[in-house]
Amino acid sequence: MAVSGRFVLLLALGAVPVVLLGQAYGLAFEALGGWLALAVLLGIVDLLLAGSPRRVSIERDLPLRVRLGQPARSDLYLTNGGRRALRGTVRDAWQPSAGAVTTRFAVHLPAGERRMVSAELRPFRRGERRVEEVAIRSFGPLGLWARQANVTAPGRIRVLPPFHSRRHLPSRLARLRELDGRTSVMIRGQGTEFDSLREYVRGDDVRSIDWRATARRDELVVRTWRPERDRRVVIVIDSGRTSAARIDDEPRLDTAFEAALLLAALASRAGDRIDVIAWDRRVRARVQGQTGAELLSRMVDALASVDPELLETDWSAVPARVREITNQRALVVLLTSLETPGSSRGLLSVLPQLTQRHTVLVASVTDHGTFERVGQRADLEQTYTAASAERALLDIARVSAAARQQGAEVVTGSPADLPAAVADRYLALKAAGRL
């Protein structure tokens, strides 16, 4: 049950008869009692005439997924199954992060009819956003008292990672195409594999002429090469406690997602097979054996609901996880953080196991604020901060050096740069045939 402002006003109007009757006849108490009784009686009548909110059936029409930063429309179909018309307010109780522009709607539902209300959702956080109930407040014809009930009408919408870094994709794909079909002289490396034979055109390197094939035909034939294909790429995203830290107001984990998505998009175009796991002490998300467009949609879907866990990542189990995915030589990309020797000890201790079998790329987000703080030494506080920042940089340098010593590639960058840097390093490795 609920009352309206109109009812409060009605009660307040009782001051007039109380004062008038009290002044004229000394019947103030009687006037008060009469007015209150009248107001309550009207309220009860109103309540009895209000349409039942429990007789309303609710259906939802929601998109299953929406990319973070894009709006979605949430439609609510209300059917009045009762005998009386329902006039009142409906609240769609979305979680705040779903960013519903409006959650309250004024509705008028004649008996037996259906109406639709729709709201725009602008989610501002990745993950699964839910709505469980719809609250309906139904006023009577006088608008004094209302019946109110919460009706269960669950709904959910999955907010996918934004994949901002896809703007880097065209330029990297162009670089990939440049790798394609080059002659061996331009990218002399053992990693390229034989692609096809074609007619010699002026300008081709004479060293790539295939004399045996030329002998079979009447024209000069050169060999062409292409980058190696069908290599395995295993992306391991660290969702442990260090991934919760925000750099440039973006959690490390989200930057890791961006890097993973860009790398996956690039590598799948390059013909490699990509597997992704998000790992801290157990697998939080896994995408395996997908290719093409399906791969990216599966990835965003799987990663959407992964949040940083406040746990220390168990690196000792990572080699086994990678072995589960593939026995071949692969490029293992570890998206984690290299910060202090203490927090990276687990990672450093398993790196040899990984580098023995695979090419390992460790990607870590660094904070540009730290670089800036090193240079700011105006007063004592800033000097101490500079010293502390310097110490942090030295730590990162030590950890990076230790990782390189154990045979891993290390890529660091700010949140904006890291995805592109990882993609570049992948291309470089591919060009060098080190996959």
Partner 1 sequence: MTVLKAAATAPPSSVTPGPSPSSTPTVRVFFRRWSFWLGAGVFIVIASLVLLLIRGVSGAEGGSDLSTTSAAPTGSKAVAEVLGQQGVTVTTADTLDAAVRAVADARAGGGADGAGGAGGAGSAGGAGGDPTVLIYDPNSFLPVDRAADLAALGGRIVLVQPDIFTLDALAPGVSVTGVVGTPSVADADCALPVAERAGTISTSGSGYRFEGGSGSADAGSSESGAGAECFPAGDGGFSLVQEQRGDSVVTVLGASGVLTNEHTLEAGNASLALGLLGGTDHLIWYLPSAADLPQTGPPSLGALTPGWVTPLVLLLVVVFLAAALWRGRRLGPVVVENLPVIVRGSETVMGRARLYARSNARTRALDALRIGTVTRLSGLLGLPRSAALPEVVDAVAAATGLLPGDLAGILVNRLPRTDAELLDLSHQLSMVERRVQVAVGRTPRSAPPASPPAPPSPPSPPSPPTGSRS
Interaction of residue 32 with partner 1, rule CB under 8 A: yes
Angstrom distance (rounded) from CA 209 to CA 96: 66
Nearer to partner 1, 112 or 141 (CB): 112
Interaction of residue 256 with partner 1, rule CB under 8 A: no
Nearer to partner 1, 135 or 197 (CB): 135
Q: Which of 216, 333, 355 is nearest to 266 (CA)?
A: 333
Q: What is the dihedral of CA 124, 129, 134, 137, to 10 degrees?
A: -20
How many residues in the shown chain lie near partner 1 by CB under 8 A?
A: 116
Nearer to partner 1, 131 or 267 (CB): 131
Residue labelled with tokens 């307010």: 89
Among residue numbers 59 through 78, which ones bind partner 1 (CB under 8 A)? Answer: 59, 61-62, 64, 75, 77
From the list 178-186, 214-222, 227-235, 242-250, the region that binds partner 1 by CB under 8 A is 242-250
Question: DSSP character for 260?
Answer: H
Window 146-165: contact mask with partner 1 (x via CB under 8 A): --xxxxxx------------
Among residue numbers 346 through 365, which ones bind partner 1 (CB under 8 A)? Answer: 365
Interaction of residue 404 with partner 1, rule CB under 8 A: yes
Angstrom distance (rounded) from CA 266 to CA 429: 13
Q: What is the DSSP string of 80-110?
A: E-SSS-EEEEEEEEE-GGG-BS--EEEEEE-
- Report in angstroms how near the CB of residue 186 gets to partner 1 at its nearest: 22
Interaction of residue 246 with partner 1, rule CB under 8 A: yes
Nearer to partner 1, 213 or 245 (CB): 245
Angstrom distance (rounded) from CA 52 to CA 107: 13
Q: What is the dihedral of CA 429, 431, 432, 435, to 10 degrees?
A: 50
Among 44, 57, 102, 120, contact with partner 1 (rule: CB under 8 A): 57
From the list 53-61, 160-168, 264-272, 320-328, the region that binds partner 1 by CB under 8 A is 53-61
Interaction of residue 293 with partner 1, rule CB under 8 A: no
Amino acid at 254: D
Interaction of residue 184 with partner 1, rule CB under 8 A: no
Q: What is the DSSP string of 378-390?
A: SSHHHHHHHHHHH
